[in-house]
Structure 1
């Protein structure tokens, strides 16, 4: 389908759901969806049949779906008489399809559960009487099966958009086969979802009269933490895809976790957002407690965590509390007024608790969570020395918050390729005291693009008479790119060792999130210029023996740079 033909079909809008908009979304759509709080009495028409190749489930509302009996694929998704499932001859399924599987069905009152067994992997579909929802769980027990996602494949022409995660109107590739350039120089890719996991509750499209969504799970068995970015959705000429990513290796900072993930929910509405009762923070599934889902832990087998407050915060920034161990991860936002936080429905165990200022870890400790109990923590005090922003500085570029925020092109890079026509020039030097030094400094540095960038600054006589520490904070790196500095062509630092960072693409696929690291350089007094009317010149080079060329050369993302007093 050509671009003009696609536009002629029907223009459609899209929505990325935010937790912050939950209340308004719920009120706007309360009549659009029966929801998980519907009564237990079976709706007229609720039930299932076997057509020989598929189990056919009628929810008794407006949704009928089919699951293949030999492979566990979702082969049909009909809402109010319209078939939504499928593009390019492909079904909706775990990963790219499990292949031969054992598929069984059982009905327990107002719930129908379809179970899919493929080796050590178990996948489940559940339908509730009177609801336009499909509840899904996936249990990956080990690495014997590649299962990193569930993808809902949607027919072409039903929902169209020209947003960052859409490449409907272009076929010109910029990088690999998944980043595209339009004729106006703007870039598109399924990677450009903009949102961190903490930022959204659901993903999907609406026509205004019909909405199709995936409401995400709590991601307790996913990896990467609250600020991880991954594929959420794509749209192309042959159809669209909605994703629940269970594990994604690109720019990944953690090992894969195994076990049961879910529920996540495929849901239809009459055009509005999904009911907030389906959101991972509010959804409860006591009706699933006795269904025999492998790895399922009911609320009674979980614990809670509450902290009375956090002191030592910089109130200009949001703070997040994360919990993580090898088996699970969770997080919650700290209240801006006093730092109070709570995290619900946690699997029992010992966790590392981390407090983040923005996305920068500034405190950690160990906590134990027990089943059926609430662990209450006294006030957490963040030591002043844990926040690098508290160190006195002669000058500073950016903010120590674990992100490239404020630097040139930072706002664009989560939803565009660095070559995008909207990006300001990646080159250009910076003068401290100009008033625009941070916004003039590029958020990313590459060996083959803008290595050798210069920073000009003056020192007083007293400052020039002393040695100083220069710090460069980074948020991730590609191909071991790291900064080496030269001061006034008089002193050059050693090449620092590369910190541990993800080995895959990052800077070109919408993610700056890796492992925050601070490089410190002890600059001797002999390197400074003693004439206070002259500028000192700092040159920052990116060094590495890896990478290729252009924006795939070795590179790094900048958090902050400062010269300490």
Structure 2
């Protein structure tokens, strides 16, 4: 299961190639002759017997050295690789079991493990967080200055001007950069890293069963600057969280070195098997034999223009799998025993839920799931509709750019501008985000027939998240104004400016009386959408919200 093979980059790979630095890196400690470990007084030194030697501090459990083919890659700014920003004083032990070496780290209630396999250029990691004594669940591999330089969205090497907090930057050409701009949801990538000069350095993510946020969660994955780089495995992070954090043993995730190609697919979540770890005695470790599977014959009532995902979640674990486009068949393996809420998502919009139970070694088989038509808001008859009910702002103006850029980015189209129904291109003209201080008061023009104008109608506005309780209040023809709606539960951190629209999908409904409409069918009705909130700052940090779809029902 070596990660050193030079494999072509796959379709789903998050491969971000870089230009090799012109300066040589520091050469690390000499490589031992064979697989094994030693003690240099301060660190346990592990030689995988391949081309990788790494060190773990005996006092803190930090990863203090990563030497691949004689070159040191670990460390920048005097900092090591570790959980969070470093655990501090910890109890660290090491043992060898045949062709596996396991380093164990204990810091209060948190336990962390590093494993090496003979002949592999990989480090396997597990993290067991039992409570909130450690604030988040993040491992960061700190990579030496100059090893991999690039100018990708999550790099700020060439972006010296800070425009928000201390982590969003602007280049001289107006493009923005931030470690938050990863572009990817969890389900979209298997690994993240860099390749340059015939060396690839990657983190292959775990299955995220103890993470929070589900398959569509977006978080920072890596960063790069002139001072060094970072690769992350983030299981719980303080931004854009829609769920409480989960506790318990998570892993393995893998630090993998290659000769420049992608890491072996045998290391990917859903593919990786670790029977060699079954006998290591890691507390909380559950082997394949102690897990079950959920499989569905199919899903009927789907809109085949959209992908469907099936998620399983309870307070202890989460899993997901894609439904087959032809018939909706799905399979979710490797599930810990328990009872889960099964959710079917159209895009990122929940359209069905049920309960399933999973037993060790068993397969829970479900008959065809029939999606009720009423569960999909797109099935309602509408006079007009802007956007697509799929739980994302996809298709709206600037929507794609906002997963890897700041709203002030020079590439963004104007956030202002009104929309006329019937001319075509309404969705592309409607901004994906609305802010109280930027484009509140947006106008939508539309005409009604005499019969339509004689009746009351329901207006719906779907949102995917909000910042500072931003929510839409509507006015029709300056003659009727809705009440201020209550704010739904949403993450309480930045989202719209750090690459994520993922919060809690919510639909606002407004009952517009017939008296609000224009009776002259040749005239346009005017809908004004204002963002209201008593919170927020100014500009792009004023109260705002992300749009999923809006429509006027028959």
Superposition TM-score tier, normalisation by shorter sequence:
over 0.9
Q: Which residue of 1 aligns with 2:48?
A: 59
Per-residue CA deviations over 1:385-410 (Å, capped at 9, x if unaligned) read 00000000000000000000010000
Q: Which residue of 1 aligns with 2:89?
A: 100
What does 1:48-447 align with in structure 2 at a 5 Å threshold?
48-447=37-436
- Paired residue secondary structure (1:438): helix
The range that moved more, 269-278 or 204-213, is: 204-213
Q: Distance in 1 between matches of 2:8 and 2:308?
A: 23
Distance change in 2, residues 1:70/1:175 (3 Å): same
Is the CA contact (8 Å cut-off) linking 1:16 and 1:203 kept in structure 2?
A: no
- Paired residue secondary structure (1:124): strand
Distance change in 2, residues 1:82/1:118 (3 Å): same
Structure 1 stretches of 4+ moved >6 Å: 15-19
Q: Which residue of 2 aligns with 1:519?
A: 508
Q: Which residue of 1 aligns with 2:526?
A: 537
- Whether 1:550 and 2:539 are equivalent positions in the alignment is yes
Q: Which residue of 2 aligns with 1:12?
A: none
Q: Distance in 1 between matches of 2:291 and 2:527?
A: 53
Is the CA contact (8 Å cut-off) linking 1:19 and 1:201 kept in structure 2?
A: no
Per-residue CA deviations over 1:493-536 (Å, capped at 9, x if unaligned) read 00000000010000000000000000000000000000000000
Displacement after TM superposition at 1:146 (Å): 2.6
Q: Which residue of 2 aligns with 1:457?
A: 446
Per-residue CA deviations over 1:8-54 (Å, capped at 9, x if unaligned) read xxxxxxx99767469x9xxxxxxxxxxxxxxxxxx961000000000
Per-residue CA deviations over 1:186-213 (Å, capped at 9, x if unaligned) read 0000000000000000000001510000
Q: Distance in 2 between matches of 1:122 and 1:418?
A: 40
- Paired residue secondary structure (1:246): strand
Displacement after TM superposition at 1:145 (Å): 2.2
Displacement after TM superposition at 1:125 (Å): 0.2
Is the CA contact (8 Å cut-off) linking 1:17 and 1:200 kept in structure 2?
A: no
* Candidates 544, 561, 565, aligned match of 2:550: 561
Is the CA contact (8 Å cut-off) linking 2:314 and 2:339 kept in structure 1?
A: yes
Q: Which residue of 1 aligns with 2:470?
A: 481
Q: Distance in 2 between matches of 1:343 and 1:371?
A: 14
Structure 2: gaps of 5 or more residues = 1-6, 16-31
- Paired residue secondary structure (1:131): coil
Is the CA contact (8 Å cut-off) linking 2:459 and 2:511 kept in structure 1?
A: yes
RMSD: 1.4
- Paired residue secondary structure (2:236): coil
Structure 1: gaps of 5 or more residues = 1-14, 25-42
- Paired residue secondary structure (1:294): coil
Is the CA contact (8 Å cut-off) linking 2:13 and 2:191 kept in structure 1?
A: no
Q: Distance in 2 between matches of 1:283 and 1:437?
A: 45
Is the CA contact (8 Å cut-off) linking 1:310 and 1:380 kept in structure 2?
A: yes
Q: Distance in 1 between matches of 2:222 and 2:387?
A: 31
Displacement after TM superposition at 1:249 (Å): 1.7
Is the CA contact (8 Å cut-off) linking 1:320 and 1:356 kept in structure 2?
A: yes
Distance change in 2, residues 1:19/1:111 (3 Å): farther
Length, aligned pairs only: 532
Is the CA contact (8 Å cut-off) linking 1:17 and 1:202 kept in structure 2?
A: no
- Paired residue secondary structure (1:266): strand
TM-score (norm 2): 0.95
Is the CA contact (8 Å cut-off) linking 2:421 and 2:444 kept in structure 1?
A: yes
Is the CA contact (8 Å cut-off) linking 1:393 and 1:562 kept in structure 2?
A: yes
Q: Which residue of 1 aligns with 2:19?
A: none
Per-residue CA deviations over 1:269-327 (Å, capped at 9, x if unaligned) read 00000000000111000100111112100111111110000001000000000000000
Q: Distance in 2 between matches of 1:96 and 1:220?
A: 23
Distance change in 2, residues 1:208/1:306 (3 Å): farther
Q: Distance in 2 between matches of 1:18 and 1:246?
A: 24
Distance change in 2, residues 1:18/1:348 (3 Å): farther
